[in-house]
Homo-oligomer: A and B are copies of this chain.
């Protein structure tokens, strides 16, 4: 089984040691992007994974590509063009101080690509799965169209398709996002998201009560509606409860059109939560590819993404064995010698 993902790869700059940007004289640098994160995680699970994107034809672009290769991602179809890489600055939060993300991604090289730059027929050849998130169509009109082309071609060629809602309000309006994403839904086999994004995209307006129980009800109503309206068979939502920037509760809910399943839940001390949603998506894709039951799927994806919170940078550098150990074990973190 081979997976193709499509999206932007950005340079991530974060001050070391929990420092604020204002008090730091250096940045740790890494490269990340929602779909690239999925590809890396799948590759670390042993799944062949190809990432489609565009990078600047300079030393930064080549370094970015090398980082994906490091993790075994197939980068052979990435475009190199004149231009700039998108950048985002991350200040890791701590306790009551929130993490801060400042984007500088406008006019990035991928945002300036054309639909004709992507030959989906060739790209998809001998691949089995296509994944993208709501960030890619938000980058430009051309990319929005490129996504749609990819979806049409993917279905034509028999690939299964997953989509992570991933709404970014700095990139497009709720109305625009809602209209575009809904249009895509008919191509989607597996939908991944969280409550907030689902409400924005699908227009739900439930009051946010304090009781966690009620929330689960809300999730179920939303999922049922999506299933009913768009015929998406598998829907997975993450459940995050923020205690502080350094402590979260983490779980997920899955719906297979008939039943709802709640995953194991984790109380996480957070090292770096960026990329958590993407690592969940990768966990779901891995589960679907391996025909896990819905219950096992959410348990696997939740354990995988729980571990992501304990790893610096966006990539979920964990092995299958580590995910299964957490998923099946007590999760007490005893030393492995």
Among A17, A26, A107, the one with the most B-chain Cβ atoms within 10 Å of its Cβ is A26
Partner of A336 from B66, B98, B310, B332 at Cβ < 8 Å? B98
Q: Are B337 and A170 in contact (CB under 8 A)?
A: yes
Q: Quick one: given A22-B59, A59-B21, A95-B269, are A101 and B27 in contact (CB under 8 Å)?
A: no
Inside 8 A of A309's CB, which chain B residues have their CB?
Answer: 95
Tier of interface size on chain A: 35 or more
Cα distance A267–B206 when bound, in Å? 30
Cα distance A200–B1 when bound, in Å? 44
Per-residue contact bits, chain A 149-190, to B (CB 8 Å; 1 contact, 0 not): 000000000000000000011100000000000000000000
Q: Are B333 and A59 in contact (CB under 8 A)?
A: no
Partner of A266 from B59, B96, B242, B322 at Cβ < 8 Å? B96
Cα distance A242–B70 when bound, in Å? 34
Q: Quick one: given A99-B335, A333-B98, A335-B99, are A60 and B89 in contact (CB under 8 Å)?
A: yes
For window 5-38 of chain A, which residues contact chain B by CB distance below 8 Å? 13, 16-30
Inside 8 A of A318's CB, which chain B residues have their CB?
Answer: 97
Least CB distance, A93 to chain B, in whole angstroms: 5
Q: Are B29 and A333 in contact (CB under 8 A)?
A: no
Confirm or deny: A262 has a beta carbon within 8 angstroms of a beta carbon on chain B: no
Partner of A102 from B27, B60, B169, B269 at Cβ < 8 Å? B60
Confirm or deny: A141 has a beta carbon within 8 angstroms of a beta carbon on chain B: no
Q: Are B22 and A29 in contact (CB under 8 A)?
A: no
Cα distance A13–B63 when bound, in Å? 15
Among A16, A71, A101, A332, the one with the most B-chain Cβ atoms within 10 Å of its Cβ is A332
Q: Are B312 and A101 in contact (CB under 8 A)?
A: no
Confirm or deny: A47 has a beta carbon within 8 angstroms of a beta carbon on chain B: no
Confirm or deny: A110 has a beta carbon within 8 angstroms of a beta carbon on chain B: no
Q: Are B91 and A22 in contact (CB under 8 A)?
A: no
Q: A326's closest neighbor in chain B, by CB?
A: B96
Q: A240's closest neighbor in chain B, by CB?
A: B334
What are 10 A-B contacts defined by CB distance under 8 Å?
A23-B311, A69-B70, A69-B71, A96-B326, A98-B336, A106-B107, A170-B337, A244-B269, A244-B333, A245-B333
